[in-house]
Every structure is written in structure tokens, then in C-alpha cells.
Amino acid sequence: MTIVTRFAPSPTGRLHVGNIRTALHNWLWARVNGGRFLLRIDDTDAARSEERFVEAIRTDLAWLGLAPDDEVRQSARFALYEERFDALVAAGRIYPAYETQAELDLKRKVLLGRGMPPVYDRAALRLSDDDRARFEEEGVRPHWRFRLEHDRPIEWDDLIRGPQHFDPATMSDPVVRRADGSWLYMLPSAIDDIDLGITHVVRGEDHVSNTALQLQMFDAMGASPPAFAHEALLTGAEGKLSKRLGSLSVDHFREVGIEPAAVRSLLARIGTSEPVEPHVEVQPLIDSFDFVHFGRAPARFDESELSGLNARIVHQLDFDSVRDRLPAGMTEAAWTAVRPNLHSVGEAADWWGVIEGPVAPPAFDDETRAYLAKAADAARSLDWVGDPWHALTGALKERTGRKGKALFLPLRQALTARDQGPDMALVLPLIGERRAIERLSVAAGI
């Protein structure tokens, strides 16, 4: 059996971190099994779906390296939905209901007031043909419900949550189609999963009750259901569901300099027993992906953890992988020199500015200026082809008796206008003889 998974976003907004995690896990499960990963655009809601968001979804998945093997759009599949819908109506598994929203709200309030669950009472099933004809004559258009079978429990073995049990008698017959003819989520999704041969559905645990309802839909259509894996929802660093998570889009990650490899590395592992590690390449994440590693506890997403992971990713990136994002003229030697001090690739431009200059060193006291004057003099006699930094500091140590911080810090400050940064043995050759002597002289006031 070929494993087939799907990611099914609605094009009503940008992908956020929770969507990305779902897409990643479906993609990883397909890849670890040599299967296929489909992108299904759930655009049945014409009023809210926008083409710009379809393009954004494609762009975001490409940035993350999660290329789908195929793409389908629900808006192109209405004829299939109609066919299955008509068959289910004929079989008595879908029925028309004529209550208004206000009437349904009142029923729910009455039940809740009595301390009872707000389950739909199936009043529509008790309507006679004359009752339905009267509604039609009055111009009342029905919404449509899927009739659950109450005589057997709904059960499945979830790949993450284990054995699941639902009593359909405690659940409302779900509305599958609105009075205006538009579709709700669950029936078209089940139809698509059958038609597209979806074998595994990976989604959040907030869909568990939807799965229970859809299992009866699969059965009513004579199809075997996919396997389901319902993963714990993401929470913020504070340990609870956070509105902030809904605003963390791929655009946000790009804007703050987060690498796609960092996003993948974190989201592939949080909520599992596997360690979060900085993997530039995706293959280790594929090789280790298995639902047996997933726990039931909420998965905590911490932006500071992502930032730290990003720095560790950046420290592994070679020059060829970043050259088109570096400032003009920045060399491989410069990238190698500054890379250990970066949290994001964008910060390389700042250090390239330090290397290229000009820089504005701090104001030094008289003693330090005298020391820097000796440094400028020593720099004029250095062999700049070899290792000028160690040659310079060795000469100054011998000439002045300075050592440690007193030896090194004033030189760093004069040459880079920074108190800390990349290894000066790598940076000084990049600054070069002329600029180094000029900077030391300016800092010395000569």
C-alpha cells in the first residue's frame, strides 16, 4: 500500500505555526514511508477564500521545503460532492432540516438550562411529507444533516491517542450542507479522502470528535477510513493556548531571520520524546519520524527556543547556501569569520560593515591612546601575508608587557568599534593593512 497524506488548508488567511506543524508532520510521514503528500485547497467557502492566499500557501510550503506531490482544489470537485450527496440522501443517511438558527439556539439554551447536553433532537426526522411540502411552499430552504447510526459505538485506534470510543447517541447529527447549498467541512473532506486514496490523516486533537462523525460517513459510503493521528495542540511558552501562535506566520519567521531548517527542526520534534536538534538537512527528521514518539501532553512552542536553534542552524550554513543573501562583495572568508557570532544570516551585513568600515571607536583615555599608537607603529612592520593578529599581539605583549584583556580589548575596540565579536585572527586580515593602520591611528589620536 502506498502511503498518501494530505494537508488541507483553507485559503482564508496566511499559514500560522500550527498549520505549518500539521503540514510538516503529514509531509514527514509520507516521506519516511516512501509515499505521497498532497496539498488540498479547501476553498468551498467562496466568500472568504482568496486567490492571494492560495499563492501564499504554495510559497510558504516551498520556503519550508515541503513540496507537495500533487495539488487539488475542492472548488473543482463540486460535481463529485453532489453525486455522493444525492446517493446518501437516497439512502436515508442525509435528511433535510428546516429549523432556523434562532430556533436551534433556543433548543440548545433550553437543554443547557436543564443540565442536559445540547444534542439536536432530530425533530426534522419526524416531519411528514406534508410538513416538508408546506415548508417548501413557504420558501423555507432546508439545511442538510447526516444521520448518525446510534446502535453501535464509534471506535478506532488512534496512532497517537490510542483506542478511542464515542457514543453516537450523545452527538448531534452534523450539518453537512447549508440552506444556500454551500458545503461545510466534514462531508467533502471525507469524500476527498476516499477519492484521493488518503491512507493517513494527521491533525490536531481538536478534530477528534470530527473524526468520530466522519468514520460513520466513510462507512455510509462503503469505504474504509484512513488511519488517524491526532496530535496535541501547540501551546505558548507560558504553557497554555495562545492567540500569539495564530499570528506567527511564515512571513513573520522570514522577517525576523529564521531559517526554514530551524522551523522544521523545532516543529518536527516538540511534543515528542525525541530531542530538538539543529538539522540543516531534512533527512534526519524524516528518518526518525514515528508516531510512537508523540505524547499526549501539549506541545510547547517557545520563540526563544526557535531563535537559539536558528543560531545553531546558521552556524552550519556554508557560503554557497547563503551567498545570494549576503551583502555585495562579502567573501567566503568573511562569512566563515563572522558566522559563529550570528543569530541570523541578515546580521552578516552588520559585520561586513565593520570589516569594510568606516567604524567609530570609543573615546580612549591617554594611556590607552598611547598603547594604540604603539599598535599602529607595530602594524606598519607586520608581515600581513601570514597571521597578522597574532604577530601584532605578540609584538605588543613583548613591547608593553600587557596581556589578557588589557592587551586584546583596546585593539578590538579600535579596529571594530565593538567590545566582542568574531575571532580577530580571522577578522584582521579581512580589514587589511591599510584600514587597520588607519583605524589604530585614528583611535590613538595621531
CATH (domain of 286): 1.10.1160.10
Domain range enclosing 265: 243-314
Predicted local distance difference test score (pLDDT) of residue 42: 96
Residue-wise pLDDT tens digits, 396-420? 999 999 999 999 999 999 999 999 9
User: pLDDT at position 246, please?
Assistant: 75
CB 172 within 8 Å of CB 120: yes
Residue 31 lies in a domain: yes
223 domain residue, yes or no: yes
- Regarding whether 361 and 350 lie in a shared domain, the answer is no
Residue 395 sits in the same domain as residue 424: yes
- pLDDT, residue 417, reads 97
The verdict on whether residue 243 carries a ligand-binding annotation is: yes
Q: Are residues 170 and 98 in the same domain?
A: yes
Tell me, yes or no, whether 340 and 282 share the same domain. Answer: no
The reply to whether 197 and 66 lie within a common domain is: yes
Q: CATH number for the domain including 377?
A: 1.10.10.350
- 336 and 362 in a single domain? The answer is no
pLDDT at 199: 98
Best CA proximity match to 296, nearest among 271, 275, 316: 271
Claim to verify: residue 22 and residue 56 sit in the same structural domain = yes
Specify the number of domains making up the chain.
5
Tell me whether residue 337 is in a domain: yes
- Same domain, residue pair 36 and 24: yes
Distance from the first to the final alpha carbon of the chain: 79
Alpha carbon distance 164, 330 (integer Å): 58
Output the pLDDT for position 244. 76
Which residues are within 8 A (CB) of 348 and not within 5 positions of it... i.e. 6 or more apart?
322, 326, 327, 330, 334, 335, 338, 339, 342
* 120 part of a folded domain: yes
Residues 336 and 371 in one domain: no
* 291 belongs to a structural domain: yes
Q: Would you say how long the chain is, in residues?
A: 446
In this prediction, residue 119 carries a pLDDT of 95
Q: Is residue 183 part of a domain?
A: no
Specify the amino acid at residue 338.
V
Same domain, 207 and 272: no
Task: Mark which of 314, 338, 371 sits at the end of a domain.
Answer: 314
Digit-by-digit pLDDT tens for the chain (446 residues) are: 899 999 999 999 999 999 999 999 999 999 999 999 999 999 999 889 999 999 999 999 999 999 999 999 999 999 999 999 999 999 999 999 999 999 999 999 999 999 999 999 999 999 999 999 999 999 999 999 999 999 999 999 999 999 999 999 999 999 999 999 999 999 999 999 999 999 999 999 999 999 999 999 999 999 999 999 999 999 987 766 666 787 789 999 999 999 999 999 999 999 999 999 999 999 999 999 999 999 998 889 999 999 999 999 999 999 999 999 999 999 999 999 999 999 999 999 999 999 999 999 999 999 999 999 999 999 999 999 989 999 999 999 999 999 999 999 999 999 999 999 999 999 999 999 999 999 999 999 98
Q: What is the CATH number of the domain that holds 118?
A: 3.90.800.10
* Residue 375: inside a domain: yes
Beta-carbon contacts of 200 under 8 Å, excluding residues fewer than 6 positions away, are 3, 4, 5, 26, 29, 159, 226, 227, 228, 229
CATH number at residue 14: 3.40.50.620
pLDDT score for 237: 76
Alpha helices in 138-271 (DSSP H): 186-195, 208-220, 250-255, 260-269
- pTM (2 d.p.): 0.91
Whether residues 104 and 130 share a domain: the answer is: yes
288 and 278, same structural domain? yes
